[in-house]
Structure 1
Amino acid sequence: MSELRAIEAPFVAGGPSGVAVRDRLKNLAAADEQVLRLVGAHLGALACGDLKTRCADGLEHDNQTWAVRKRELTVLSSSRWAGAITKASHDQWALARRCQAAHIADLEAAIATIEHRLSLPVGEKGSRKGPGGYRSAQEWHAKSRRLRVLTDRLQREKADQQAGIVHIVRGGKRLARTRHHLDAAGLTETEWLQKWQAARWFLAADGESGKRYGNETIRITFDGEVSIRLPAPLVHLANAPHGRYILAARVAFAHRGTEWADRIEANRAVAYRIHLDVQRGRWYVTASWQIPPAPALPWRLRSPTG
């Protein structure tokens, strides 16, 4: 008789840690789109340079080097834009490190499986506890060569991990590779370039509790008015006081709109991100905020009689 799978003890799953809602920026004027493109391209170039510097720092990064990067970016943008850019670079580097560790774990698991199957006689059947040998000598030979490839790759990944080296493509590796397969993707070179440029723009600002409407850099009021604090080189494009630019579009978050309104009324932090969907030719703004963790009640088993 086969063994039955053990049932784990019941537990309470944690709730979501954050919320993100999105709305379209409709009825944008031509001047609005031009300003968004200029700001996105300027800040995107700064973000690319800062990410390169952060990756070059590697494991030697500390608060002092972070302060130097932010100070240099402040001259070319603003203090808050510089903070958003440096934090995004730090988060990207940390995410790349986690992905690198996960990739190394996958390689080690694949190598262990192949080594186990190679150690078994050809044609030996597997069981529930483990796989058997390979079906033919030809497959055994192919997998032995595959083992060498994976071993070399694992050595390179571990060397990069120890040296603090990560590989990041700002704009996405998939989109970068699409440049070499435009026919298969159904894109022209111009269409791909538009997507690539839009993916590398930077139009995101973290919220700040205690500041007006929860965000000083990208601000959305109760009536949906969207305004952006322009970086220093583009202040001459401002159409409002204090170097701000007000868009003609109005925003109304249909999903969780009441919750969003409650947050900005209390001046609680709300992060915003503006991006362009090149394929549709539409601009969107995404609002996000964190949800404080709620204490999870322990799962208690009770008898049928209570």
Structure 2
Amino acid sequence: MGVAEVRPIAAPYVASSPSGVAIRDRLKGLTDQDETVLRLVGTHLGALASKDLAVRCRDGLAHVADRWAARKRELTAESSARWAGAITKASNDQWALARRGQLAHFQALQAGIATIAHRLSLPVGHKGTKVGPGGYRSRQEWFAKSRRLRVLADRLAAVRADWQAGLVRIVRGGKRLAGMRHHLQAAGLEEHEWRARWQAARWFLQADGESGKRHGNETIRITPTGEVSIRLPAPLARLANAPHGRYVLSARICFAHRGTEWADRVHADRAVAYRIHLDSERCRWYLTASWQTSPTPVVPLRAALTHGVIGVDTNADHLAAWRLDTHGNPIGRSRRFGYDLTGSAERRDAQVRHALTRLLSWSKSCGVRAIAIEDLDFQAEKTREKHGRRKRFRQLISGLPTARLRARLISMAGAAGIAIVAVDPAYTSKWGAQHWQAPLTGKSRQTTRHDAASIAIGRRALGHPIRRRTAPPPAHRSDEQGHRTALARWEACGREETRPPDTGSCTRCGPPDRGEQAGDQCAQHRSGRTAEQLLLSPLER
């Protein structure tokens, strides 16, 4: 049996910091009049946004700048120029996002069809290899997959036609929430509760900022003291309680996170975008502020690894981390940062954020300025066409929060001044367990496969091979290729050949008649006389 081919390993790189910031605070102290105005404005602008999105979807690939200007003019009469600009831009962004999702679905269908066609071409019961899957196990499964191939082919034809025509399908408010309307009992909701969520999800209360304008935003304006005012659309101008058709809310905003940075931008009249939304489950209003940041220069890889690195292995329920020095040697003991990804989306996000906070705090206490993590992407690995009946494995990789954790880690590490080094995930678990799990396991320490994988990740980020000892150098450069490629176990006798005999002097120099036990040192091309020659008298030489 031939040796399996190892795929090329990509070089590690330092991940770039995020280019935007988003902070949120609760609108406390709203009066009934304030909530009424917010609901009326959100409903009116949401209807305009729905109409404009439908127009944008009908235009498809034929949309041009002149058409965008015409859409904006139509909305200006029913709202304002700034609200019209925010609505049309949001429609364009939503159409582009749906277009990217359509392309990803198109590529996934192609990959699934190729996999099924390959497995159908093999004999039934043909075993697979590490390179590709084998045939199906039975004729019944082969027949079922042949029917699925036809279904996927029809889906691919429909998606291809939509892609060529520029047709996308978008549900304002969310497809999941729309489907929940038909399963209210399973969702544990009453019809009026679902209706409240559906209406709140379709409201539109967001406005992009503009540098040079007062406090960075003319539509939704927040002063440095926290006063929130909204520019009312033309049909609702009668509700204004401030000059120039504005409505000032009774609530005050005080951002706890990045509040100083936000205040600096507001004082300097730099662009800040705002979004007001209602959490209908808890009946709470929130305001989110976001702005773009100047791109931070990426730290060179060598500079980031000056003080070592912490290798992190991502798992479904915890992060396994180990600190390594600049030479790739593990220091101290491994650390584990657990999280529970059950429950609501807010709880899952809080669990990931708490685990990353502890990881970054430990990195700061160790003085390490770099964290190595695998550049994972399981989008092509979750399909049942690829893994067949391995349902538990597909559920496992689907539960890994790779995208969420990576984005959150890069953002939090950038604020803490810690570089994130992304490495190729190939063979890290396998080679880490092969070379590091057994040597680091003892009576008082149990090293898991995930801990060993974190060492492999850290060594790959440092540029060292994962195995504990490298291959010998070329001939005539060091000991005539005398070093082995792997360390022997500690109980192996004579594992560091060549060594002096057990019965020797305190200087570990053997007697003249035992010179053959000391190894042929003359054959090693060393300068000077050997230890055996030093023990002979001048006449014997």
* Aligned counterpart, 1:156: 158
- Compute the displacement of 1:8 (Å): 2.0
What letter is aligned with 1:143?
Answer: K
Superposition RMSD in Å: 1.6
**Cross-structure match for 1:263:** 265
Once the two structures are superposed, residues 191-226 of structure 1 have per-residue CA deviations (whole angstroms, 9 ceiling, x without a partner) of 111110000000000010011111000011111111
Letter in 2 for 1:187: L
Question: Quick one: which amino acid aligns to residue 80 of structure 2?
Answer: S
| Residue of structure 2 in register with 1:22 after alignment | 24
Does residue 274 of structure 1 match 2:285?
A: no
Amino acid of the structure 1 residue aligned with 2:32: A
3-state secondary structure, aligned to 2:13: coil
DSSP-derived class of the 1:226 partner: strand
- Residue type at the aligned position of 1:285: L
Cα offset for 1:292? 1.5
**Letter of the structure 2 residue corresponding to residue 228 of structure 1:** I
Deviation at 1:2, TM superposition (A): 4.9
Hey, what's the Cα distance between the residues in 2 that align with 1:56 and 1:3?
50
Task: Output aligned runs, 1:87-236, within 5 Å.
Answer: 87-236=89-238
Task: Specify the code of the residue in structure 2 equivalent to 1:118.
Answer: L
**Other-structure match for 1:244:** 246
Compute the displacement of 1:299 (Å).
2.9
Partner of 2:44: 42
1:86 pairs, out of 75, 85, 88, with 88
Distance in 1 between residues matched to 2:226 and 2:298, nearest whole Å: 36
The partner residue of 1:299 within 296, 301, 307 is 301
Quote the offset at 1:5 in angstroms.
5.3
Residue 71 of structure 2 corresponds to residue 69 of structure 1: yes
State the 1:9 CA deviation. 1.4
Q: Which amino acid aligns with 2:107?
A: A
CA shift at 1:297, angstroms?
3.9
* 1:263 partner amino acid: R
Cα distance in 2, alignment partners of residues 173 and 268 from structure 1: 36
2:429 alignment partner in structure 1: none
CA distance in structure 1 between the aligned counterparts of 2:4 and 2:260, rounded to whole angstroms: 55
Aligned-residue offset at 1:298? 3.8
Counterpart of 2:273 in structure 1: which amino acid?
A: A
| Aligned residue type for 2:48 | L
Instruction: Measure the CA separation in 1 of the matches of 2:256 and 2:299.
Output: 32
Amino acid at match of 1:208: E
Residue type at the aligned position of 1:281: C
Q: How far, CA to CA, are the matches of 1:167 and 1:125 in structure 2?
A: 41
* SS of residue matched to 1:213: helix
- In structure 2, the residue matched to 1:7 is 9
Name the CA distance, whole Å, in 2 between partners of 1:159 and 1:10.
39
C-alpha distance in 1, partners of 2:7/2:74? 59
One-letter code aligned to 2:237: V
> How much has 1:300 moved relative to structure 2?
4.2
| Alpha-carbon offset, residue 3 of structure 1 | 4.8
User: Number of matched residues?
Assistant: 305
Identity of aligned residues (%): 71
Cα distance between partner residues in 2 of 1:163 and 1:289: 34
Partner letter of residue 26 of structure 2? R
Q: CA deviation at 1:11?
A: 1.2
Deviates more, 1:271-280 or 1:295-304: 295-304
* Partner Cα distance (2:23, 2:181) in 1: 31
> Does the aligned pair in 1 maintain the 2:4–2:130 contact within 8 Å?
no
Task: Indicate if the aligned counterparts of 2:217 and 2:272 stay in contact, CA closer than 8 A.
Answer: yes
List per-residue Cα deviations over 1:275-306 (Å, max 9, x = no partner).
0000000000000011111232443499989x
**TM-score normalised by L of structure 1:** 0.97
Does the aligned pair in 1 maintain the 2:25–2:253 contact within 8 Å?
Answer: yes
Larger relative contact order (C-alpha < 8 A, sep ≥ 6)? Answer: 1
Deviations 1:12-39 (A, max 9, x none): 1110111100000011000000000000
How far apart in 2 are the matches of 1:23 and 1:172? 24
Letter in 1 for 2:258: R
Match of 2:494 in 1: none
Q: Which ranges of structure 1 fall in alignment gaps of 5 or more residues?
A: none
TM-score of the pair, normalised by structure 2: 0.55
Mapped to 2, the partners of 1:105 and 1:2 lie a distance apart of 28
Q: List per-residue Cα deviations over 1:209-265 (Å, max 9, x = no partner).
A: 011111000011111111000000000000000000000001111011111011111
State the 1:10 CA deviation: 2.1
Give the structure with higher Rg (CA): 2
Give the structure with the higher percent helix: 1
2-side partners of 1:76 and 1:134: how far apart? 61
CA distance in 1, matches of 2:32, 2:171: 31
Q: Cα distance, 1:6 vs. partner?
A: 3.9
